[in-house]
Copies of this chain bind each other. A is one copy, B any other.
Amino acid sequence: MSRQHASMPGVEQFDEYFHKNPAPKSLSKHQALTREFVQFHLESSPNRRIALVTSGGTTVPLENQTVRFIDNFSAGTRGATSAEYFLEAGYAVIFLHRQFSLLPYSRHYSHSTNCFLDFMEEHDGDDERVVVRKEYQEKMRRVLHQYQLAKKNRLLLLLPFTTVTDYLFQLRSLAVSMQPLGERALFYLAAAVSDFFIPRERMEEHKIQSREDHAGGQGAGASRQLVINLDPVPKFLSTLVHSWAPKGSMIVSFKLETDPALLVAKAEQALKRYQHDLVIGNLLTTRKWEVVFITRNGGERWLRVPKARRSKSISGVEELVGKAERKHEAQHVDLEGGTVTEGMEIESLIIPELAIMHTDMIENGK
């Protein structure tokens, strides 16, 4: 393995990165779980495809004992929703997600937008059992069935990460563990990965003290600024494509932009640079309703949810964590029972398309 790696582009750069930054403690445990998961499906259903779905944002700690960190916006909706549709399409799913981001199935009842306690009531009968309210029964039964099916058939492996360094260590480990799958592996890289980080050697040990904590006398240092210097994170996609991932596997990346004028050019540039299979471009403000597929044959194809079927849910707005222009809604109002219209999820269009492309790649080669 190491000889193969040494001759590949980017591998030396990563050797240095992995040497200088600490591996997550969970790495070997997660590796063992992944190998077992891959082996189970190789043996029990030789045609089973496995999708690695990455989801949520990475953090960049500013201190070693971390109180502050830089974060990338992502609630994990794209990843968690996509994972469900991959399962529906017959894939097994390894879900590499930011800790505390949304998870497949439970995302329907996230504690802050649809507080699940509002779905419950005490049963009138003798037994006083807590039960789900009648009006929510049908959906919850459906979600519960899918969830239990995935559990029973061992189709879903949940692995958490937090920092960008955790993420990179795990991505390499997972990709290598998936090599026995060959072309039946699919990488769906929906996580929002930081482009910058602070190397271990430059990180503060304790909480960075604010101005006043340092100031000796009154007024001293009143205009003290904090300056943070970040290094670029090595670009992993090329190394994933050429070294870590199984030969012949399908690799899909995302490009999120805020400026519509840049989106398609940026997506094309990424595809050309990394030589993988598909870039899915999306804009921060419209990502729930439209995405663009950029493929190697020069295609630019838009997928859109019809206007009449777009969700009227407030969650689309609320999820824009930190967005300066978002509309706040007091959750007080929700507790009184707001109405949420369920729309069509764009992932229900994306994943079946990918499954077809994947089949085509397996049958006809790349």
A interface vs B, CB < 8 Å? 22, 24-26, 29-30, 33, 59, 61-73, 75, 99-103, 105-107, 109-112, 115-117, 120-123, 128-132, 137, 140-141, 143-144, 147, 151, 157-163, 166, 192, 194-196, 206-207, 210-213, 222-232, 235, 256-259, 266, 269, 273, 284, 318, 320-332, 335
Contacts and interface: CB of A to CB of B under 8 A. Distances in A.
A32 B327 CA distance: 16
Contacts of A117: 105-106, 109, 143-144, 147
For the complex of A and B, the 5 pairs showing the least CB-CB separation, nearest first, are A26-B328, A195-B210, A65-B258, A158-B331, A226-B230
Given A99-B318, A116-B109, A235-B212, A71 B72 contact: no
A319 to B, nearest CB: 8
A24 B328 contact: yes
A222 B211 CA distance: 34
A344 to B, nearest CB: 23
A141 B122 contact: yes
Given A70-B70, A232-B225, A129 B120 contact: no
A158 B122 CA distance: 24
9 contacts: A24-B328, A25-B327, A26-B330, A65-B325, A102-B111, A117-B144, A129-B137, A158-B331, A225-B231
Given A122-B141, A273-B212, A228 B228 contact: yes
Contacts of A228: 227-228, 230
